Amino acid sequence: MNRYETLIVGSTMLLLLIGIYAVYSASGPIAYLQHNGDVGYFFRRQVMALGIGIAGFLTLWRLNYNVIIELSPVLFGINIVMLVALFGFGTGRCGVNRWLPLGNGLYIQPSLITLVTVPLFISYIRKKNRSNSQSASKAEWIALGVLSVLFLLIAFEPDLSMAFVVAVVTMVVMFVGGFSIKRLLLIAFIIGITGLIFTFVERYRVERITSFVDPWGNRSGTGYQSVQALISIGSGGFFGKGLCHGMQKFFYLPAPHTDFVYPVIAEELGLWGCTVVLLGFVVLIGAGMKAAIRSGSIVSAIVGTGMVSIIAIPAIVNLGMATGLLPVVGVPLPFISYSGTGLVVALSGMGILASIARIGDRYADDVLGEVGAFDYNGVEL
């Protein structure tokens, strides 16, 4: 393995270990309450997803990423069908239909799969429409249409927070692909206005924003989640209360095994544990971006940056929410939150990224040398 492969694989494994521990510790009380005393319910399901995810990671790592790019139209088409199927067959709670039942108590969340299929499909569009300016313009309009359709499908589940995450990931990979800045700004403006409309239609979304401004002012209402998260983080101190010794997961902190798993880590492992988590993400993102830059083509750079983005953007949103820097939204922390689909998606993305690092490093050594940068006009598309 080259150094970027090593960093990508190593930091991924580190975050996985922390995540397995966090789900084991944080999910016990709520699993006991919801599943007839079975404290290991969520943990077992996460381990099962981990096995599937690692198999996908290893396969995609050793596979040439160009094969996946060529298959992306089929994968993206299946993803769209799954998103549409949610409106007839989706399941969830409180009118939120984000999961498709697979049978035997298993579910899949199509919006999370979108995080991987979109960068692959946009790279495919860019690759197939690169001969002249007219083809490039066609690729841009196709990509913008894809983004618009995805945003609306996910927002109407409703899952506005994930719709915005997908939109940001899509615009990042389009920017890297050299798409028109003016068109990107236009679609960003339209999505922003649409998001505001979706926000103000639902009262609870407005209340989340107001409670974000002053969570302590309504700490027993809409600010409760943020306040309890801050209490968890603050009570951990430097060294934490010890493995599995946190108290906030005992029905004080909502969703301790999913959206608010980071405060559980902070309470039990303290500042040093939080620092290890942050360093893991920083190393993974940094190595991933370097691998994308050294890859030698716009297409591989689009895919590489996209795979980094599907980790970086949800992580920033989740950590910002958990620490009170952003409003409360339902975005899981990659590798760490309980989410079978999310774990498989994250590991699949890192497998593709490791493949880019493996293959692209040969190009960098042979052509680019130690500088490792690429010029859009100086390398083969």
pLDDT beyond 50 at 183: yes
115 DSSP 8-state letter? H
3-state helix, strand, coil in the chain (%, to 5): 70, 5, 25
Q: Is 241 helix (H, G, I), strand (E, B) or coil?
A: coil
DSSP assignment of 304-365 equals HHHHHHHHHHHHHHHHHHHTTSS-----PPTTTSS-HHHHHHHHHHHHHHHHHHHHHHHHII
What integer pLDDT is reported at residue 381 of this predicted model? Answer: 35
Query: How sure is the predictor about 379, in pLDDT bands with cuts at 50, 70 and 90?
Result: very low
Q: Residue holding tokens 């940001």? A: 168
- What's the pTM value of the predicted model, to 2 decimals? 0.91
Of the two residues 98 and 231, the one the predictor is more confident about is 231
Mean pLDDT, residues 181-192: 87
What integer pLDDT is reported at residue 131 of this predicted model? Answer: 57
% residues pLDDT > 70 (the chain): 92
Mean pLDDT, residues 62-88: 94
Task: Map out the domains of the chain as residue ranges.
Answer: 3-368
Residue-wise pLDDT tens digits, 293-330:
988 788 899 999 999 999 999 999 999 999 999 998 88
pLDDT beyond 80 at 371: no
Residue-wise pLDDT tens digits, 34-44:
999 999 999 99
Which residue type does 181 have? I
pLDDT beyond 70 at 82: yes
Contacts of 52 (CB under 8 A, 6+ apart): 344
Query: How sure is the predictor about 91, in pLDDT bands with cuts at 50, 70 and 90?
Result: confident
Q: What angle do CA 143, 149, 153 make, to 5 degrees?
A: 145
Residue-wise pLDDT tens digits, 94-141:
567 889 998 888 899 999 999 999 999 999 988 887 655 666 677 778
